[in-house]
Amino acid sequence: MIKNLSDQKKGIFLSLIGILIITPDSLFIRLVKINSWDLVFYRGIIPFFILLIGLIIFYKKNFFKAIFIIGYAGLINALIVALTNITFIFSLENTNVANTLVMLSLAPFMAAFLSIFLLKEYPKKRTWIAMFLCFIFVLFIFNDSYQSGRLVGDFFGFITAFLVGASSVVIRIGKLANFLPSLMIAKFFTMLFTIFFVKSLYLEGADIYLVPIMCVFFVTIPLAFLTLAPRYMPAHEVELFFVLETTLGPIWVWLIIRETPSLETIIGGSLIISTLLIHTILELKKPNLKKAN
């Protein structure tokens, strides 16, 4: 069924499924009790072994060939994703879930900006306008976070968005390569970077099942989908689906643990999401206009 879809529809399918699965991730990060470095280590080692086993089963004797074929783009992507794993957790540790996810929703504009230099894909005028508006809204949220002592967390969230956008662009540059091995290497790098800061790998209480569930269902599976998606559609269009996580992620957290974002975050986040949605609708109308002509 999926094989018969156009490249754009394949990209939409992979992006949509990946984002819908990943939405409870922030909630689980809030629910676990272990410290940030220990958590990042687990979010590296568990997905690494799952991907390792899966790729060995899939490729069999061609496993090492699949690893080497990713090239420099695959290694660069692995480093970027490893850094993203760290900055995302430290953002959530230092600010509200809503703030982190609002920052993450800027990823499509980060991808669009980077695509100018790396892919020679120039955004349309409306994309530039949307990017400028979102930048103003981010400054509005930053001002509130500065006064509330959450600026560090928001900054890490902003860096995470930049890295997510960069990852999508790098994946698109190496379109002919299978980037799932790159994701596996990224998880290995994550494990390697954090092992020196781990205090204890002992899990107790609810963490015994919360950490593995999170690492399997809300890290490995959705990231595999989102890693494949940019092969079939422009990087900045893939990142537009992060609007869903920005909307649904804070709702999960509010429903379960009653974490409420500030009024400024709600206003600024709503304006960013609205800008992204309007931009997306205008982009989706474009093919129809061509057909009409």
* Arithmetic mean of pLDDT over the chain: 87
Q: Residue 231 pLDDT > 80, yes or no?
A: no
Q: What is the pLDDT of residue 241?
A: 76
Phi and psi at 262, nearest 5°, equal -70, 165
The residue-averaged pLDDT of 9-32 equals: 90
Average pLDDT for 38-53: 97
Which of 185, 25, 20, 15 minimizes the C-alpha distance to 108?
A: 15
Task: Return the domain boundaries, the chain.
Answer: 2-292
Listed in order, strand segments (DSSP E) in the chain are: none
**Beta carbons within 10 angstroms of residue 116's beta carbon:** 12
- pLDDT for 1: 55
> Which pLDDT score is estimated for 246?
83
Instruction: State the pLDDT at residue 291.
Output: 42
pLDDT tens, position by position, 189-218: 999 999 999 999 999 999 999 999 999 999
Token pair, residue 275, equals 């800008």
| pLDDT value for 232 | 80
CA neighbor of 43 nearest in space, from 176, 207, 237: 207
Neighbouring CB atoms inside 10 A of 205's CB total: 9
Cα 51 from Cα 189, distance rounded (Å): 14
What is the reported pLDDT for 127? 82
Q: What are phi and psi for residue 175, nearest 5 degrees? A: -55, -35
pTM of this prediction? 0.86
- Distance from first CA to last CA of the chain, Å, rounded? 30
At residue 124 the predicted structure's pLDDT band, cuts being 50, 70 and 90, is: confident
